[in-house]
Amino acid sequence: MNLPKVLNKIKPDKKEEANLKAVVNELLNKIKIKDAVVSLGGSGAKNTWLKGNSEIDLYVGFNYNKFKDNDKKISTLLKTALKKKFKVSLLHGSRDYFQIKYKNFTVEVIPILDIKKSDEAKNITDVSKLHVDYILKNSKLSDGMRLAKAFAKANNIYGAESFIGSFSGYILELLVIHYKGFKNLIKAASKWSSQTTIGNKDDIKNLNISKKGPLIFIDPVQKDRNAAAALSKEKYEKFIKICKQFLKNHSEKFFELKEEKIPKDALKIQFESLKDKKDIAGAKFVKAFKFIEMQLNLEGYNVKNSGWKWDGKNGTYWFSLKEKKLKPLIKKSGPPIKFKDDFERFKSKHKKVLVEKGKSFSYIKRKYPTLNEFLKYLFKLPNVKDNIKYIKL
């Protein structure tokens, strides 16, 4: 297939690059903080960002020697400086950081310690600048990294947030570097087994068990970290499958964003997420989603397929159900009749008790006879109402 043609569609043109550079320079000139250096971070700094991207990461690197013993202070100092120039939104993470809106861009401003090696880090975000530096050393592969990102995004396997469990931009960049190009990555991934390990064997062996998963890729910048720790088994297997399909049919459609269609007959539930950091809000609404799905199955509606959509605030849960209407009576099992005391107690609680093959049972009325009534009951439970701001059928 014509990968240069695909690249032309996903790679920012000269005008877009110039616009980003101009906006970044304006921001750098506006944000001046004593004992700190402000720099472009993320995919913008790595030159791996995709066309149409409206997000900018700025790293504010505070002097290591001055703040290493009081690194929590740097968030407060950054907040004070930003508020003099911008309207600021506070975001909670492993260290508080900030978001501003500037000329159609969403800008995240992240306080870090200006470290030279990963073992100096006081917080996971401190290593961010080292990640940028490592990727830039392999800048000749930046177009391959763009292709990998577009490929993952188009097939809904992009995003390392805990509630998504897919490929982060950084792990895709590392994979392209490791396999020396996008095409080689696809060929290799199509042959991945149930677990793939990349890196020094001792480093892999010494990893905390919680950091291990279907893909283990020792971060070249941070030897005690699996750069693919957030990747779920489901998304890992989906990537392998899609790589195999792509090798059979080199179609440009593998790079085109696909909107997941909700089945026409599916149960649809609207919700609004909590006002939290994206991955926290996402993890909470997914918890509510999984709880609802589990309860639907336990009640007997039997979920055939399910999913969710979310725009960062509002979203939709959907469930394809095998049963949409349940019988009004539920068969309740009782004790074997040979256990006389238990059997008598069961008889005293139920009007009509039947016996079959030495076992007792009775039919009782379903507490929530309709699907709507059952869902309204679920919506009031802590597992739902504590994890989303608003929900309705």
Q: Is the pLDDT of residue 149 over 90?
A: yes
What is residue 194's predicted lDDT score, i.e. its pLDDT?
96
Look at residue 168 and tell me whether its pLDDT is greater than 80: yes
* Confidence at residue 125, expressed as pLDDT on a 0 to 100 scale: 95
Q: Residue 233: which residues within 8 A CB-CB, separation 6 or more? A: 213, 214
Q: Are 319 and 303 in contact (CB under 8 A)?
A: yes
In the prediction, which pLDDT does 258 show? 78
pLDDT, mean of residues 19-30: 96
Q: What is the pLDDT, as a whole number, of residue 43? A: 97
Residue 367 φ then ψ, to 5°: -65, -40
pLDDT at 260: 79
Give the range among 27-31, 215-219, 274-278, 296-300 with minimum mean pLDDT. Answer: 274-278
pLDDT for residue 170: 97
Residue 261: its pLDDT value, please? Answer: 87
Tens of pLDDT along 177-221? 999 999 999 999 999 999 999 999 999 999 999 999 999 999 999
Please report the pLDDT score of residue 257 as a whole number.
86
Chain-centre distance of CA 248, in angstroms? 29
Give the percent of the chain with pLDDT over 90.
92
Q: Please choose, from the candidates 10, 2, 60, 44, the residue with its C-alpha nearest in 3D space to the C-alpha of residue 169.
A: 44
The b/e string for 26-50 (b: 16+ C-beta within 10 A; e otherwise) is: ebeeebebeebebbbbbbbbbbbbb
Give the number of other Cβ atoms within 10 Å of residue 223's Cβ. Answer: 16
pLDDT band at 91; cut points 50, 70, 90:
confident
Phi and psi at residue 192, to the nearest 5°:
-60, 145
Overall average pLDDT of the 238-267 stretch: 93
Q: In the block, which residue shows the tokens 């062996």?
A: 205
Question: What pLDDT, on the 0 to 100 scale, is given for residue 35?
Answer: 95
Chain-centroid distance, C-alpha 93 = 15
Instruction: Assess whether pLDDT exceeds 80 at residue 277.
Output: no
* Number of alpha helices (DSSP H) and beta strands (DSSP E) in the chain: 15, 15
Q: Of the candidates 377, 356, 357, which has an alpha carbon nearest to the alpha carbon of residue 366? A: 377
H-run or E-run covering 349: helix 340-349
Residue 278 reports pLDDT greater than 90? no
Q: What is the pTM of this model?
A: 0.84
pLDDT digits (tens, 9 = 90+) for 314-334: 999 999 999 999 999 998 999
In the 8-state DSSP scheme, what is residue 345?
H
Residue-range domains of the chain with CATH: 9-126 (3.30.460.10), 139-255 (1.10.1410.30), 267-325+369-392 (3.30.70.590), 329-365 (3.30.70)
Query: How much is the pLDDT for 280?
Result: 87
The DSSP string of 126-189 is GGHHHHHHHHHTTGGGHHHHHHHHHHHHHTT-B--STTT--B-HHHHHHHHHHHTSHHHHHHHH
- Cβ(337)–Cβ(354) under 8 Å? no
Question: What's the rounded mean pLDDT across residues 350-355?
Answer: 91
Per-chain mean pLDDT for the chain: 95
Task: Please say whether the beta carbons of 317 and 297 come within 8 A.
Answer: no
Residue 279, pLDDT score? 84
CB 100 within 8 A of CB 109: yes
Is residue 94 very low, low, confident or very high in pLDDT (cuts 50, 70, 90)?
Answer: confident
Is there a contact between 278 and 162 (Cβ–Cβ < 8 Å)? no
pLDDT computed for residue 246 by the predictor:
97
Inter-residue contact 77 to 65 (CB < 8 Å)? no
Percentage of residues of the chain with pLDDT beyond 70? 100
How many residues are listed for the chain in this entry?
Answer: 393
Q: What is the pLDDT of residue 92?
A: 82
Amino acid 297: pLDDT = 97
pLDDT at 2: 82
- Separation CA 93–CA 250 (nearest Å): 40
